[in-house]
Amino acid sequence: MAKQHQASPEARQGATIYSVAEHAGVSIATVSRVLQGVTVVSEPTRQKVLAAVEELGYVALGAARSLAVRHHEAHGLVLPELSGPYYAELLMGFEARAAELAQSVVLVLTDSRTDLAAAVRQLATRVDAIAVFGSAPISADVVRLLRAKKPVVVIAGEPQDGVEAVSAENLESARELAGHLLDHGKRRALFVGDPDSGPDIHNRYAGYVAAHRDRGLDAAEPVRVALREAEGTAFAQRMLAGAYEADALMCANDELALSIMATLQDAGRDVPGDVAVVGWDDVMTARYVRPGLTTVRQPVHELGALAADRLHELVSGEPPRSRAQTLPTQLVVRSSCGCRAAT
């Protein structure tokens, strides 16, 4: 019996449990046993097997193992995209925790998919559970459909029946941030960003409204723009043209705040003198610009880890939680709000 375990050009497939068994002079059942480490195996044979495994560099084929044990030891993660630090950080937290739990992570980015529903269904056939980002353009139907087959957790979205959710706090922090602006004496603060772009933004706007209400003030309607750099620039230009009257801008995220601030400054406006600008996320750029951007830091890494955790427990049979789990955020005060902070 010629051994073809040498890395011959075409026999790339590697050793199987059979070749290991033969090599060690035992049955495949024994090989499986020492590898699973569940049943007891006599030390001598155990060593023989281990030696064979080592020599042939054997690793069980994922598909075969999955088929036999009826699960994949993998988690799926569905995110819109990865530009900006938010999603990347979330992914890092998710991946790190998944790694600790010995789960592979297979990633799906919705922005690059034409047939998202198909992609998600596909994903469901290769993982044990799936975490999907709340604002991802996935119809609630798909989520529900998914949930029928695999455990699902929504990140930064609303919990639905049977689908639990994890997120960072928004409303109270937004209320605090908006309050901070108002306490600087600003009386025409505008909320820039579309509350309909997701539960997160929705709640930030709600906090903005609440802060006004707290002080017996009227909150303005939100300026509905997408959370992208280009939209911020466009908005700022409209503002420079006199389309908006405001002495403070509470932006839905830093990307928006940063582009708006830069455009305003380039046109000679003083920030925060003429108009204060604050954001949300605390991206790297926020601490490099002058004035430093006042914003809110979210525990994004932890959020990702939490999602991976919950997925694992759900797979382990734990029942889904009905209430969303919310992680606390932190107000980061720099100078763009009107404060004279260090930076």
Q: State CA 118 to chain mean position distance.
A: 21
What residues contact residue 255 under an 8 Å CB cut-off, 6+ apart? Answer: 84, 227, 228, 229, 232, 279, 281, 283
Interaction partner, residue 119 (DNA, a copy of itself, none; CB < 5-8 Å by kind): a copy of itself
Residue 51 binds DNA (CB under 7 A): no
Among 88, 117, 226, 324, binds a copy of itself (CB under 8 A): 88
Q: How far apart are CA 86 and CA 149, in angstroms?
A: 29
235: helix, coil or strand? Answer: helix
Residue 85 binds a copy of itself (CB under 8 A): yes
Task: Count CB atoms within 10 A of the CB of residue 184.
Answer: 16
Task: Using CB under 8 A, count the residues that bind a copy of itself.
Answer: 57
294 φ, ψ (degrees, to nearest 5): -80, 135
Task: Using CB under 7 A, count the residues that bind DNA.
Answer: 33
Residue 225 binds a copy of itself (CB under 8 A): no
Interaction partner, residue 341 (a copy of itself, DNA, none; CB < 5-8 Å by kind): none
Residue 297 and residue 332 in contact, taking contact as beta carbons nearer than 8 Å: yes
Residue 330 binds DNA (CB under 7 A): no
- According to DSSP, the residues that pair with 109 across neighbouring strands are 79
Q: Which among 166-174, 198-206, 281-289, 330-338 is the span making contact with a copy of itself, rule CB under 8 A? A: 281-289
Residue 4 binds DNA (CB under 7 A): yes
The secondary structure element, H or E, covering residue 277 is strand 276-278
Residue 88 binds DNA (CB under 7 A): no
Which positions lie near DNA, rule CB under 7 A? 4-5, 13, 16-18, 25-30, 32-33, 35-36, 38-42, 44-46, 58, 60-61, 64-65, 67-70
